[in-house]
Amino acid sequence: MALAKLSSKSQIVLPAEICRRLKIKPGDMLEIAEGDNAIVIRKAEKSALEALDACGSKLWQGYDRELEEAREEWNP
């Protein structure tokens, strides 16, 4: 079991081994839940648009703006 110390600013540092195993990188969003005297931290799922935008293909770059424009045409 890995241990982490809470700082005076209520911050913790995740152990490097866990970050590598879960492929958590700086800037990733984490979900935090509480219950039964426990805290659960999970890597948040990326949205479909973020996944498309991160895709190496130039075809999907900027698709989120195009999709938003199409939505505005349908729902003025």
Residue 1 lies in a domain: no
Summarised one tens digit per residue, pLDDT across range 19-28 is: 999 999 998 8
> Based on the structure, what is the number of domains in the chain?
2
**pLDDT tens digit sequence for 39-76:** 999 988 877 777 666 666 667 677 888 889 999 998 86
Of the candidates 48, 40, 75, 76, the one whose C-alpha atom is nearest the C-alpha of residue 64 is: 48
pTM of the predicted model as reported, rounded to 2 decimal places? 0.53
Do 40 and 56 lie in one domain? The reply is: no
Beta bridge partners of 38: 35
Same domain, 36 and 50: no
pLDDT value for 27? 87
User: Domain for residue 32, yes or no?
Assistant: yes
Q: The domain containing residue 19 runs over which residues?
A: 12-44
DSSP assignment string, 38-58: EEEEEEPPPPHHHHHHHSS-G
Same domain, 22 and 40: yes
On whether the CB atoms of residues 61 and 51 are closer than 8 A, the answer is no
